[in-house]
Amino acid sequence: MSEIKILHLGVEEYSTVFEKMKKLQERRIEDEITDTLIFVTHPEVVTLGPKAVRDGVEIEDYQVFETD
């Protein structure tokens, strides 16, 4: 059975957690760490994937993040 590291981060900003997640992903790809499960709460945000189209869509009151 594989080992899984569990992180309980509490409440953090989305951008902070996203950066942590990307660093963990890089380390996992390089097989430097085991799988990681992250538990976190962040303020409401809107995420836009690479194929998202914003034509005519106005997003107010939320931070917007482009993701891969």
* Mean pLDDT computed over every residue of the chain: 90
Residue showing tokens 């590291």: 5
pTM of the model: 0.77
Q: List the beta bridge partners of residue 45.
A: 63
pLDDT recorded at residue 57: 73
The residue-averaged pLDDT of 30-40 equals 97
The residue-averaged pLDDT of 5-34 equals 96
What tokens appear for 13 in the block?
Answer: 């900003």
Q: What is the pLDDT of residues 41-67, one digit of tens each?
A: 999 998 888 888 877 777 888 888 888
- Rounded CA-CA distance 35/18 in Å is 16
